[in-house]
Structure 1
Amino acid sequence: MGGQAFAAHFPTPRMSLAIYKHVLTQTQTILRNYYTNVSSAIEGPGKTTYGDVDVLVAGPLPHAFPPGTPVAEKLKQALHAKACIQDKGNPTMNFAVPWPRDVASIEHESEEKAQISDENDTWENNTQELNWELFHSAHGDLWNILGTTIRPYGLTVNNHGLYIRIQEIEIVERKKSMVFLTDEPSRVLDFLGLDEEKWWRPFGSQEEMFEYAGTCRMVWVKEEVDVVEGEGEEKEEKGEEKEKKKLKHNDRRRLAQRPIFKAWFEDFVPRCLKEGKYDIPRTTREQILTDAFEKFGIEEEYNTKLKEWSYTRHIDELTRDAIKKTIPVDGVDGQLRAAAIRTLKGIILEGEEFEGKIPDAVVKDENGFYDLEVVKRFVGENWEEAGRIGMGRQHVRAREAMIAKAEKRKKEKELGDGIE
């Protein structure tokens, strides 16, 4: 949490590289007494101070945590932590660990400083989740850069894996548009065109990491022309400003808070534009989709999801626009209108007969879709009769319910008289 989890309770200053390495090694050594897998993600290049120590763990050892003993409390004791924070349902545990006295003395820190705490964040996962998180958290801001790069091509990477978005759905419902591709790092890197061996090594500098990111086959820096609405005039802007205009709100926030992310857009991208690097698109969103079908075998799932979503939207549109909006509101009895809607939905969606036959409005095309214009015309011409039919059915049901209720009371009375 960037060293901020305990900011209101303990002073948690940023750590030098020496202290960070010491605390990281010490923490991992202790945690290996409790878990089979203990690791930390590769840090981003150029960091000289650290806000916290992040450790990922998986596979609790047998008898490491006796029944009835909270995991966080056990680890707090093992780490000699002053405090622990863990939100309910969250696998992340935050520990305030005492500042190491021995390292502090090497760096000539005062005795008072040796009592200050540093923050230790531990994530408890299963092995697959751990491997993915190590991959997804590697190199600091690199995934922020890559995520922004691959987004226009319909790809999303999150805490669970790589996804492709269905373009027709994402405009309306972004979360529902996502189709899972893989959570295997090697397959992700291969699909993005990134060298796997280089990924698992720390980058020596920010520039080296940027050059590596540039090998992603979706990196494309380009001059964009913005047209002023209503004037038809081209507004010239510097390349970096145009690139920044494409950023989402979260990206703009990162731009203000993340120096390396900011350097990508304000230093590296303008330099590439000037040098003519990555200025020719290497692929398209359509090609990425085709490649995803081939490499991940998701074509059937993708098409089925799109078809089901499209059909659901179509039925919503039919009910809302072709039926409900076609029936007048002003001057129409509310009960009659409600009865008409119920009856027409039964006729069109359930295939019920109307005046002794199945109307043309019920006919669907080869994809199972209705002709909305035909439906609207049918509703406009027949909603009053449909309403009368619906009201009649409602009266019949009410009468039947009353008869059934009377019969029940009669039987209960007869049963009571028999007992007496």
Structure 2
Amino acid sequence: MGGQAFATHSPPLPTPRMPPEVFQLVLSQTHLVLRQYYSQVESPIESPGKPSFGDVDFLVHGAMTKEFDPANIEWNIVAENLMYVLGAVASIQQPGTSIVNLAVPWPAEGGEDKYVQIDIHYLTSPERFQWELFHSAHGDMWNILGSTIRRFGLTVNDRGLYLRIPEIELLDRKKSLVFLTESPSEVLEFIGLDESQWWKRFEDQDKMFEYAAGCRLFWVRQIDDEEAEFDVVGDLPADGGQEGGAAGRKKLKHNDRQRMSKRPIFWDWINEFIPRCREEGRFTVQKTTREDVREEAFQKFGVQKEYEEKLANWTLLRHKDEVWREAIKGSIPTENIDHQFRSLPFQYTNSLDRAAAIRVIKGVVLDGEEFVGDLPAAVKPNEKGFYDVEAVKLFVEANWPKAATIGMARQLEKARRMMKEKDEKKKRIAEEEAKKNGEAAD
């Protein structure tokens, strides 16, 4: 929350940014208390060079007593117990999460009325604990690495490392994800970073940038002034190198532009470090491609079958949507319908006729229902579930009037059946009432 969770508290509680000495004092004191109640307690590694801190973050797992275990009691009770043992004056529970913000008194310095925000996040397993500790480390590190590996079809979020399917991601980013791992060691090995350095705080921002640039997927794209002026998003290959500077800012995704405006370290990465690398001629060689990274992921994480099945299912789903929109709905007239087969005692409108035809045709084509006692060969999918779209269109154009007749007949029969059931229900209720009245008279 950046130390602002209690700004809207009633009443608001001041939680000013902490100098390093106050941060370290609260960090050590809180750690000692929490270790009495949880087997695993850690604070994520902070980014380098921070002159002040907005809050103190803790990750916990392995409650030693049920009073501090969300698996045994409700999280709000756990939050109240944490509030008590840490001497907090207020708490805020983040909805839908096991995260609580606590406001504890500022370490004594003349009795000034201000507070420190402590955020505690409970993790449900050792694996989730280790991943969150890894993912939260070094502040803006994953903003930097994320903008690098994304070009090669990789994504890291709060659950793990994923491979993206390009054919799907343009339309549905979430459905394009194929899970690879939640092991920090495997992630760092796969993207080519030294794990021993990861678990240490960087001395300064430049050292963090140099470490991030050591990622095997990082490379700086060399461009001239004219290309930088006229190049647009989409001209770059999917695995294009980092640009930085004004041209690079134009090509950032919306989320990255937001991060850059709010995160000074990410701003410096884009606007200072990458342009400097280009000027010095460093990291200018692309070491691999998105296709190569995908094949490596298949080999290392064994996800090729899942990837291919997911892509095949998506492709089939899109194909069926095309059949529905173009071959079925698109082949039945919307107006000036002259339905020569209409012979029903039913008030006719174009919309009713068309809707009835669509329902019947959809059942035949997409659900495999018989049409006039048979399933026409023209609408049978192949062994992989795909249709001959042109054959389906011809079938629909030739048979929608008959389908409308069948559909209207079904609708009429359904209406008659419902009316009959309604009349029978009224009759039954009347008989029951009459019987009750007769018994009362006796």
**Under a length normalisation based on structure 2, what TM-score does the superposition of the two structures give?**
0.84
Q: Give 2:302's match in structure 1, choosing from 297, 304, 307.
A: 297
Q: CA deviation at 1:71?
A: 1.3
Give the 3-state SS of the residue equivalent to 2:332 in structure 1: coil
One-letter code aligned to 2:384: N
Q: Residues of 2 paired with 1:23 and 1:143: CA distance?
A: 26
Partner of 1:330: 335
Distance 1:340 1:252, change over 3 A: same
- For 1:34, the equivalent position in structure 2 comes to 37
Alignment partners' CA distance in 1, 2:398 and 2:335 = 17
Aligned to 1:235: none
User: 1:7 and 2:7 equivalent?
Assistant: yes
Q: CA deviation at 1:216?
A: 0.8
Amino acid of the structure 1 residue aligned with 2:2: G
* 2:24 matches 1:17: no
Structure 1 residue 370 displacement after superposition: 0.6
Distance 1:346 1:17, change over 3 A: same
Kindly indicate whether residue 348 of structure 2 is the aligned counterpart of residue 345 of structure 1.
no
Specify whether residues 408 and 99 from structure 1 end up closer, same or farther in structure 2 by C-alpha distance, changes over 3 A only: closer
Shift of 1:353: 3.9
Q: Does 1:121 align with 2:122?
A: no
Supply the distance in 2 between the matched residues of 1:99 and 1:404 (Cα, whole angstroms): 73
User: Which moves more between the two structures, 15-24 or 381-390?
Assistant: 381-390
State the distance in 2 between where 1:414 and 1:54 align.
71
CA distance in 2, matches of 1:2, 1:227: 37
Q: Write the letter of the residue equivalent to 1:2.
A: G
Q: Contact conserved, 1:34 with 1:64, CA < 8 A, in 2?
A: no
What displacement does 1:156 show? 1.0
CA–CA distance in structure 2, aligned partners of residues 378 and 65 of structure 1: 66
Q: Which moved more, 1:159-168 or 1:1-10?
A: 1-10
CA offsets, 1:146-175, max 9 Å, x none?
011111111111111111111111111111
**Matches for 1:274-293 after TM superposition, within 5 Å:** 274-293=279-298
Shift of the 154–418 alpha-carbon distance from structure 1 to 2, 3 Å rule, reads: same
**How far off its partner does 1:290 sit?**
0.7
1:227 is displaced (CA, Å) by 7.8
CA contact (8 A) 1:12 1:118 kept: yes
Distance 2:280 2:272 in 1: 12
Q: Distance in 1 between matches of 2:389 and 2:136?
A: 49
Instruction: Classify 1:56/1:415 alpha carbon distance in 2 versus 1 (closer, same or farther; 3 Å).
Output: closer
CA contact (8 A) 1:37 1:58 kept: yes
CA distance in 2, matches of 1:411, 1:137: 68
- Distance in 2 of aligned mates of 1:145 and 1:413: 75
Distance 1:400 1:3 in 2: 65
Q: Report the Cα distance in structure 2 between the residues aligned to 1:335 and 1:147, rounded to whole angstroms.
A: 53
Of the structure 1 ranges 385-394 and 200-209, higher mean CA displacement relative to structure 2 is found in 385-394
Change (3 A) 1:413 1:84: closer
Decide whether the 8 Å contact of 2:45 with 2:137 is kept in 1. Answer: yes
- Listed as ranges, the matches of 1:245-324 within 5 Å are 245-324=250-329
Which residue is equivalent to 1:194? 193
**Take 2:68 and 2:370, find their aligned partners in 1: how far apart are those partners?**
67
AA partner of residue 118 (structure 2): N
Opposite residue 46 of structure 1, the aligned amino acid is G
In structure 1, what is the equivalent of residue 343 of structure 2? none
TM-superposed CA distance for 1:35, in Å, is 1.0
* Counterpart residue identity of residue 93, structure 2: Q
Secondary structure in 1 matching 2:255: helix
Measure how far apart 1:363 and its partner are.
2.9
| Higher mean C-alpha displacement, 134-143 vs 274-283 | 274-283
Give 2:114's aligned amino acid. Answer: I
Q: Deviations over 1:218-272 (max 9, x none)?
A: 112103536859xxxxxxxx96222222211121122122111111111110011
2:219 is paired with a residue whose SS is: coil
- 1:96 corresponds to which residue? 103
8 Å contact kept, 1:343–1:387: yes
Cα distance in 1, alignment partners of residues 331 and 56 from structure 2: 62
- Kindly indicate whether the alpha-carbon contact (under 8 Å) linking 2:379 and 2:395 is maintained by their aligned counterparts in 1: no
Q: Could you say if the C-alpha distance between residues 407 and 88 of structure 1 is closer, same or farther in structure 2, counting changes exceeding 3 Å?
A: closer
Write the letter of the residue equivalent to 2:17. Answer: R
Q: 1:406 to 1:89 in 2, by over 3 A?
A: closer
C-alpha contact (below 8 Å) 1:348/1:361 kept by paired residues: no
Query: Over aligned residue pairs, what C-alpha RMSD do you find?
Result: 2.7
Aligned-pair CA distance for 1:72:
1.4
Q: Which amino acid aligns with 1:283?
A: T
Q: Where do 1:16-95 residues align within 5 Å?
A: 16-65=19-68, 70-95=77-102
Q: Give me the whole-angstrom Cα distance separating, in 2, the residues matched to 1:175 and 1:319.
A: 24
Separation in structure 1 between the aligned mates of residue 67 and residue 356 of structure 2, nearest angstrom? 65
Measure, in 1, the Cα distance between the counterparts of 2:115 and 2:433. Answer: 79
Residue 371 of structure 2 corresponds to residue 372 of structure 1: no
CA deviation profile, 1:287-320 (whole Å, cap 9, x unmatched):
1111111111111111111112222222222112
What's the offset of the Cα at 1:405? 6.6
Q: Secondary structure at the match of 1:6?
A: helix
Q: What is the CA distance between 1:406 and its match in structure 2?
A: 6.7
Partner letter of residue 76 of structure 1? M
Indicate conservation of the 8 Å contact 1:46/1:206, yes or no: yes
Name the residue aligned to 1:107.
none
In structure 2, runs of 5+ residues without a counterpart are: 232-242, 338-349
Change (3 A) 1:97 1:365: same
| 1:85-234 map, 5 Å | 85-101=92-108, 104=109, 111-113=110-112, 115-126=113-124, 127-224=126-223, 225=227, 228=230
Q: 1:353 to 1:116 in 2, by over 3 A?
A: closer
**TM-score, structure 1 as length reference:** 0.88
